[in-house]
Amino acid sequence: MAVKKYLSLVKFSHTIFALPFALIGFFLGMNQFFFSGEWHGVNPFAPEAYATQSIERFLIEKFLLVLVCMVTARSAAMAFNRYLDRSFDAKNPRTAIREIPAGIISPNSALRFVILNCLLFVTATYFINSICFYLSPVALFVILFYSFTKRFTPLCHLVLGLGLSLAPIGAYLAVTGRFDVLPVLFSFAVIFWVSGFDIIYALQDIEFDQSQQLYSIPSVFGKSKALRVSELLHVLSAGCVIAAGIYGGFHLLYWVGIVVFVGMLIYQHSIVKPNDLSKVNIAFMTANGIASVVFGIFVIADLFVR
């Protein structure tokens, strides 16, 4: 029962947004690093005790550690957001049923949960490689800092996108230990995609945010202009995945995935209107969940059939 409460606290089902992109980064790194002939049976980035491994053990360990990082980083970020916003959530009828304002989980318990997940995240990065370990405080700063941004800037949506965009580049670093253009393009796609659909989600709280002097694109610019900004961001996201496809030399399956991804972007904007927000949740969860999962499947499949 306690596990269920914390899974609800962090909206574990929303992991579906960033996880496919993390897997894209992982398999892209595997494709670039191993299939390019750079694998020599030694992982120079791991702690000394883990330096010499078989390729199978290397892949399995990295994959599991990437999953641990994804779950713990996102859990820390969401729980911290709920902890920091607990007073606002209690005043907002839409969010008053959340675990902390409803008294299901105490604020101190939520904060301890945040700290535990941060520690697990940093520990997991240590066993991945040195660059991930050294960058782990930066990643934690970005994903935790987001929770403060709504108090002073309408660009909070972009900060959220930045946090989730660490998934593909982080997973790529876990395998290769280096940066590259292609995973960065996917990261930019995530920034624009996530910030775009977060603006749509924020339309639900425009009046509340204005009453509490909280910043968001909708609360500052209004519904119509906010939707235009969201559309622009999603055009940029589509442009990034197209650029990634061209730069990476992907084949048919990748482009089929792009058709689905872009189609879901168009669909969500077709069902959400300034005077009709009844389908915001369908646009937010269903359309974006399909976009992420299906696109991820086709990209990874394309990598395997090369």
What type of residue is 86? R
SS3 39: coil
d(CA 95, CA 204): 11
d(CA 151, CA 169): 28
Contact 206, 216 (CB under 8 A): yes
What are 52-107's pLDDT values in tens digits? 456 777 788 999 999 999 999 999 999 999 999 999 999 999 999 999 999 999 99
Residue carrying structure tokens 């360990």: 61
Q: What is the pLDDT of residue 9?
A: 86
> Which residue from 258, 297, 249 is spatially nearest to 32, judged by alpha carbons?
249
Domain ranges of the chain: 2-304
* Single pTM value for the model: 0.91
d(CA 171, CA 299): 15
| Residue 32 pLDDT exceeds 90 | no
What are 178-207's pLDDT values in tens digits? 999 999 999 999 999 999 999 999 999 999
CATH architecture of 2-304: Orthogonal Bundle (1.10)
What are 40-44's contacts with CB under 8 Å, separation 24+? 43/129, 44/177
Q: In this predicted structure, which of 14-18, 101-105, 216-220, 295-299 has the lowest mean pLDDT?
A: 14-18
What type of residue is 20? P
Q: What is the pLDDT of residue 57?
A: 79
Mean pLDDT taken over the chain: 91
Concatenating the DSSP letter of every residue in 8-22 gives: HHTTGGGGGTTHHHH
d(CA 243, CA 128): 29
Residue carrying structure tokens 């491994």: 53
Distances (CA, A) of 264 to 10, 19, 167, 261, 267: 25, 18, 21, 5, 5
Residue 302 DSSP class? H
